[in-house]
Structure 1
Amino acid sequence: MGDQPARPVVLVHGLRTSATMWDQQRPILEATGRAVFTPDLPGHGTRRDEPFTPEGAVAAVSGAVARAAAATGRDVDLVGCSLGGMVAIHAAADRPPHVASLVAANCAVQPGRRTAGLYGLAIRALHGLPGAPARSGGPLLRRLLGESGALAYVRGGTADDDAVRAALGAVAAWDLRADLARIDVPVTILSSRFDQLRLQERSFAVAAPRGRLVVLDHGTHLAPLAEPDRWTAALVRALA
């Protein structure tokens, strides 16, 4: 990059959480000279009162990219995790201006309507447990993510069941590998070792004309929250 500042980064959060998911990443990335932008998807965080729609989700991502580029005068690295990774793939397939690269993390599976529905049931069951994530983190989430990770997960509020159903229905209707085939910037499919959504990671990486697969030697699906230092170090390497 020479004397130029590092590119800004747009981070897109996962299902049910919000932009605060990235609170632990922000200071690490800013220390590398990157400006960090963290939009909320519809139905999540500051936009919990809005319905989740595919169009609204894509607009949230493309709008954040445009704001980041306008604020910094530079093209943008786009990063999404889980649902956010799927939305970022679908948004980048439209080739919005100013996207320099894409990192799609822990999202390398093409959900069908049945599997998306079952996954939604599991998430709703988790959030319905006593002391569960929707209730200020709770002991289960703190055990999984640690105190800081649990607080980052819930700090911005958690989406309701309608938003979860709508989001999962949207991604089940997309063809993510066809979307990847339309993306003409470098794409990194980033998988944590023990992520349950890495089932089709190789076909995702191959689908992108400039794609590559990076598999970490650690971490679960929620590694950005549970292991923020290690995961963010891997992200910085992927963006280099």
Structure 2
Amino acid sequence: MQPIVFIHGIRVSATMWDPVIAHLDRPAKAIDLPGHGTRAGEPFSMDAATSAVAEAIDSLGGSAVVVGLSLGGYVGIATAERFPGKVAGLVAMGCTSSSQAMLGVYRFVARLAARNPSRANRISEYGFRHLLPGPTGAAIVAGGLWCEAMPQVVDAVAEHDQLAALAAYPGRVWLVNGTRDPFRADERAFLRACRDGRLILIPGRGHLGVLAAPGPLARLIDDLCSCFQVERPASAVATPRPR
């Protein structure tokens, strides 16, 4: 049974994944990236982030499926490129956009947030709790919020060629997007870049909305992890079966 390493999104922390991990019956570990959570204050770079993921994989035996959402998905792609022997498979969620227009907006917002991070953190906390009320929203903010890290993160993601990274990785990749997620804009290009890729669309969910039902998401991830151990044919698009 392959263990899982979970990677969080921008300005949040490993606690984001707690509700999903609680529904899993396999070894799993969520990590904090540099500049976030227990690693706040550490400079963020893609090398530092992928090294953190590799260390977590080593702590679980040296091979794991990597699951990341948003920033976590981009870091997961970079980890698969840099450490292909450690990444048994990749589930990259909400990270299939390479739009320069969207990047420009995100860069502006990141710099604005970093000017007054305490205020930006309060606004972010309100937004997370409003978007995902109850335990899911509480888990997202439980490890703290780190808007001061956003400019470094956005620059690091912008400088990394995700399509080339996917093309370099020989393992299986599942691209998972909510159908309402704006970050799915270039999902077909990302899918074509994969040597062995699948695209899963979750109906009616937005960028963070995929976290709204942690039980079904955990079952989906568990099913995908099991698939990494089975030979499958060429790329396809799928939707999760209702449970």
Could you tell me how far 1:139 is from its partner in structure 2? 4.4
Q: How large is the RMSD of aligned CA atoms in angstroms?
A: 2.5
Task: Assess, with a 3 A threshold, how the Cα gap between structure 1 residues 144 and 48 changes in structure 2: closer, same or farther.
Answer: same
Q: 1:162-177 counterparts in 2 under 5 A?
A: 163-177=149-163
Query: Structure 2: how far apart are the matches of 1:110 and 1:139?
Result: 28
Give the length in aligned residue pairs. Answer: 225
| Deviation by residue 1:152-175 (Cα, 9 ceiling, x = unmatched) | 1111111133x1011110111111
Secondary structure, aligned partner of 2:183:
coil
Secondary structure, aligned partner of 2:122:
coil
Q: 1:1-240 counterparts in 2 under 5 A?
A: 6-29=1-24, 32=25, 34-70=26-62, 75-112=63-100, 115-122=102-109, 134-135=121-122, 138-161=125-148, 163-240=149-226
CA contact (8 A) 2:114 2:150 kept: no
Task: Assess, with a 3 A threshold, how the Cα gap between structure 1 residues 176 and 219 changes in structure 2: closer, same or farther.
Answer: same
CA contact (8 A) 1:90 1:176 kept: yes
Query: Structure 2: how far apart are the matches of 1:64 and 1:21?
Result: 17
The amino acid that maps onto 1:206 is R
The amino acid that maps onto 1:155 is A
CA contact (8 A) 1:108 1:198 kept: yes
CA contact (8 A) 1:42 1:51 kept: yes
CA contact (8 A) 1:106 1:198 kept: yes
Could you tell me how far 1:22 is from its partner in structure 2? 0.4
Could you tell me how far 1:208 is from its partner in structure 2? 0.8
Normalised to the residue count of structure 1, the TM-score between the two structures is: 0.84
Query: Structure 1: how far apart are the matches of 2:44 and 2:137?
Result: 23
Secondary structure, aligned partner of 1:38:
strand
| Deviation by residue 1:100-156 (Cα, 9 ceiling, x = unmatched) | 1101001111254x6324114446778999x97723975443220112122111111
Query: Structure 1: how far apart are the matches of 2:182 and 2:13?
Result: 21
Query: Structure 2: how far apart are the matches of 1:229 and 1:83?
Result: 22
Runs of 5+ unmatched residues, structure 1? 1-5
Could you tell me how far 1:87 is from its partner in structure 2? 0.7
Could you tell me how far 1:15 is from its partner in structure 2? 0.5
Query: Structure 2: how far apart are the matches of 1:218 and 1:236?
Result: 21
Normalised to the residue count of structure 2, the TM-score between the two structures is: 0.84
- Identity value in percent: 35
Runs of 5+ unmatched residues, structure 2? 227-243
Secondary structure, aligned partner of 2:182:
coil
CA contact (8 A) 2:12 2:141 kept: yes
Could you tell me how far 1:68 is from its partner in structure 2? 1.4
